[in-house]
Chains A and B, each alone.
Chain A
Amino acid sequence: MRPKSNRSLLFVEKHYLLLLAPLLIFVAAIAIYPLFFSFYISFFKYRLTDPNQTRTFLGIAHYILAIHDKTVITAIRNTLVFVAGTVVIELLLGLGLALLFAGEGRWMRALRSWLIIPMALPSLVVGLVWKSLYNVDFGVIPYYFKQFGITMGRGPLGEIKWAMPSVILIDIWQWTPLVMIIFLAGLKSLPHDPYEAARVDGANRWQSFWHITLPLLKPSILIVLLLRTMQGFKVFDIIYATTSGGPGTATTVLNFHIYTVGMVFFKMGYAAALANILLIIVAALAILYIIVLERQQI
């Protein structure tokens, strides 16, 4: 009896491997190899445009340089502000919208599909459209503010203290619908029994939201946090299209700085080192999220 089941298990396993092979090869070539290559190249001084393609070994010099690089420190700070701003507001707003549009009426469905449109647009286009909306001399937004007697100085993207909130607003406009959809899916899959029990026990709507809905939505919250944090750290296209990291360095996020080092200066080694630092920050945050949320569940 035993040998037989072992053999069939082996057969099944082999089968799995065979079926997985194309995907594994693909992932190895597209993801694993570049990852290791970027770790490898970060230890070298390597200018992409060098005609001789010389690579000089530097050890961890690039990582030490990064810690002392003023622009990198500013960029990391800006990135954290961007991530905190977008993730918190999108989470709250997305949850609110999901609760608002959880109904199943005809209008609800129509409205929901309208709300999803921003998500379907390429970020670069969204950035360019918002840039022209924000333009203080020709744009629509400052024009209406002016009608109400509010002048916007150098404009939302031109003032140091307003540039980051303005960029965050673009991200919120575009990505809150995604958060809403995730929460909608979470809400739809909630069991009915606890609510009925709560009603019998005399809980009001707020109490059942706070004590039933929210705890049960924890997996959805985790997904939203992970997804939006990752994407927030990766933000590039909106910044590229609107401010190029300006004014000054007010919206220079880490990924934009990596782009400058890699694709303007072509210093591949340093760019790879910075990209790896970004990766480490995000991975550390992700683990933290998971630990905190999982622990609460138990």
Chain B
Amino acid sequence: MKQRNYLVMLLIISILFVGLLAACNAPASPTTQPPKGEAPAAQPTEKPPAAPKPAEKPFAGTELTLASMTDQYVTAFKYLIPKFEEETGIKVTLDELGYVDLYQKLTADFVAHTGNYDLMTMDIVWSGEYAQNKYTLPLDDLMARDKDQLQMDDIMPVAWTLGEWDGKHWAYPLAGYANVLNYRKDVLSEAGLEPPKTQEQLHEYAKKLTKPDEDFYGIALLGAKGPAVAQDYMVWVQQYGSSILDADGNVAINTPKNVEILKAFGDLFQYAPPGATDYWWDQRETAFRSGKVAMMEGWSIARAGYENPEISSVVGKVAIALAPVAEGVEPKYGFGGWGIGINADSKNAEAAWEFIKWLSSPEIQKEWIRHDGAPIRRSTLEDPDLNQEYPWFPILLEAFDKGDGDYRPRIPQYSIIQDALGTTVNAYLVGEMGAQEALDQAQAQVEETMK
């Protein structure tokens, strides 16, 4: 009897071990996974071109794979890629991925050197990390070689932060976003208000416009634990003229100034919908599009969508203004967006570069904008036709001119800062921690994790 019990116990424990492994070893799996992509990546070079190469189509028959974030501009990729294929004979496969999936799939691809993706969209904040680990190809040699075709002077200076790091270009500018203030024209004019010019006014107006009984609120904010609340807090840090890194580039999160800013940021949540401490980007958008709030700061790329009756119930009622900064702070505007990089392990780097050159050319840029892309060139932002279609372009141009692409530190350890702030700022908002305590803990966590 005893022996039987012992055997049963042993059996159950061994089943338990096996069962647990699936969860426990998930973090280690990328190293143990076989390099799954090797075969497909090698295919294009071995495959003979389908048709004899015409002289003007030197890369005909090459196959590229592009990993793209599922942002608005993916529509533009879908529209433009067939044109590119027709013009050059290069085949481009588009792989659409959500933010977290994209980051993790790319990391797995880079670390295992599988070269699955030739081209990838790269978030501005990944610049330092990608440069440090040499994930993408530095484009400087190619840019120097083809500088006559590129019209680089025309690209907005701030747009280069979409991939530049330590003097080299690890991605080419693809889509520039400015942080702007979206507001409801009808609501503000009814209350006799002009769009706020300063953060102090923003607070005042948000308070004035909040009517909880009518389920209407002053401002929509990002409060959800994780990247959302971390990034929104960093926007406010920038708007109050402070920063996450000190002058020497060291992480300085818990400065007295940043604590004050956190309190101001937290105050604003009184005038946001009650669920705002749980808002991710899409819920914030929903709040604004459904007409629940009067104001919202956000990326400029979403602007065109407010005029689309299929996804917006505030058509014709929205305007944008420059994002307000605190009184006495020199106006600078948060800048973000995406670059496009070439995998350092890609076997088709030249063809991939061909795609980047084609996409960033002034003529194609106009098409890019018209199909939900975002601008990078001055000529695009100043184009008379486009200004007719998108009357808010002058505001964008000014925001780009005074754009600050570094308000979220693009250093290799960015994800650590974002995770620490993402937890502690959210904890402050829901009352789990005090402001000083929250930032102290974020600082300590970053220092500890960076070791």
B111, CB-defined interface residue at 8 Å: yes
| Residue of chain B at shortest CB distance from A289 | B12
B275–A136 CB distance below 8 A: yes
Given known contacts A154-B430, A283-B13, A286-B16, A275 and B25 CB-to-CB distance under 8 angstroms: yes
B416, CB-defined interface residue at 8 Å: yes
A41, CB-defined interface residue at 8 Å: yes
> How far in angstroms is the closest Cβ of chain B from A276?
7
A268–B27 CB distance below 8 A: yes
* Contact residues in B for A51 (Cβ distance below 8 Å): 132-134
| Residue of chain A at shortest CB distance from B424 | A248
| Residue of chain A at shortest CB distance from B22 | A234
* Contact residues in A for B31 (Cβ distance below 8 Å): 48, 268
B27–A263 CB distance below 8 A: yes
Q: Which residues A260-291 have CB closer than 8 A to chain B?
A: 260-268, 271-272, 275-276, 278-279, 282-283, 286-287, 290
B436, CB-defined interface residue at 8 Å: no
Instruction: Give complex CA distance A279, B26 in Å.
Output: 13
* Contact residues in B for A279 (Cβ distance below 8 Å): 17, 20, 24
B28–A41 CB distance below 8 A: yes
B93, CB-defined interface residue at 8 Å: no
Instruction: Give complex CA distance A278, B25 in Å.
Output: 11
B174, CB-defined interface residue at 8 Å: no
Q: Number of B interface residues, CB 8 Å? A: 58
Per-residue interface assignment for chain B, residues 217 to 234, with 1 indicating a CB less than 8 Å from any chain A CB and 0 otherwise: 000000011100000000
Q: Which residues B427-449 have CB closer than 8 A to chain A?
A: 427, 429-433, 445, 449
> How far in angstroms is the closest Cβ of chain B from A289?
9
B49, CB-defined interface residue at 8 Å: no
Could you say which of B28, B274, B419, B445 has the most chain A C-beta atoms within 10 Å of its C-beta? B28
> How far in angstroms is the closest Cβ of chain B from A297?
9
* Contact residues in A for B415 (Cβ distance below 8 Å): 264-265
A247–B275 CB distance below 8 A: no
* Contact residues in B for A266 (Cβ distance below 8 Å): 107
B427–A248 CB distance below 8 A: yes
Instruction: Give complex CA distance A290, B4 in Å.
Output: 13
* Contact residues in A for B199 (Cβ distance below 8 Å): none
A160–B419 CB distance below 8 A: no
Instruction: Give complex CA distance A138, B101 in Å.
Output: 26
* Contact residues in A for B419 (Cβ distance below 8 Å): 260, 264-265
> How far in angstroms is the closest Cβ of chain A from B260?
21
Q: Which residues A46-94 have CB closer than 8 A to chain B?
A: 48-51, 71
Q: Number of A interface residues, CB 8 Å? A: 66
Q: Which residues A221-276 have CB closer than 8 A to chain B?
A: 226, 230, 233-234, 236, 243-250, 252, 255, 258-268, 271-272, 275-276
Kindly identify which residue among B5, B28, B104 contacts A34, using a CB–CB cutoff of 8 Å.
Answer: B28
B133–A49 CB distance below 8 A: yes
| Residue of chain B at shortest CB distance from A240 | B100
A265–B21 CB distance below 8 A: no
A27, CB-defined interface residue at 8 Å: yes
A38, CB-defined interface residue at 8 Å: yes
* Contact residues in A for B365 (Cβ distance below 8 Å): none
* Contact residues in B for A137 (Cβ distance below 8 Å): 273-275, 283, 287, 292
Q: Chain B's interface: helix, strand, loop or mixed, by majority?
A: helix
B432–A35 CB distance below 8 A: no
Instruction: Give complex CA distance A63, B204 in Å.
Output: 51
Could you say which of A153, A234, A246, A259 has the most chain B C-beta atoms within 10 Å of its C-beta? A246
Given known contacts A38-B24, A234-B23, A271-B27, A160 and B283 CB-to-CB distance under 8 angstroms: no
B12–A290 CB distance below 8 A: yes
> How far in angstroms is the closest Cβ of chain A from B365?
33
Given known contacts A38-B28, A259-B26, A287-B9, A247 and B226 CB-to-CB distance under 8 angstroms: no
A247–B225 CB distance below 8 A: yes
Given known contacts A35-B17, A248-B432, A275 and B24 CB-to-CB distance under 8 angstroms: yes
> How far in angstroms is the closest Cβ of chain B from A259?
7
Kindly identify which residue among B24, B286, B445 contacts A138, using a CB–CB cutoff of 8 Å.
Answer: B286
Kindly identify which residue among B5, B111, B129, B292 contacts A48, using a CB–CB cutoff of 8 Å.
Answer: B111
> How far in angstroms is the closest Cβ of chain A from B146?
28
Kindly identify which residue among B104, B133, B134, B225 contacts A243, using a CB–CB cutoff of 8 Å.
Answer: B225
| Residue of chain A at shortest CB distance from B425 | A248
Instruction: Give complex CA distance A136, B223 in Å.
Output: 13
Given known contacts A160-B432, A248-B225, A272 and B21 CB-to-CB distance under 8 angstroms: no
> How far in angstroms is the closest Cβ of chain B from A167?
13
**Mind listing 14 A-B residue pairs with CB under 8 Å?**
A37-B25, A37-B28, A50-B133, A152-B274, A154-B430, A159-B430, A160-B430, A246-B430, A248-B423, A250-B430, A263-B26, A265-B416, A278-B23, A290-B8
On A, residues with C-beta under 8 Å from B are 27, 30-31, 33-35, 37-38, 41, 48-51, 71, 135-138, 151-155, 157-160, 226, 230, 233-234, 236, 243-250, 252, 255, 258-268, 271-272, 275-276, 278-279, 282-283, 286-287, 290, 294, 298
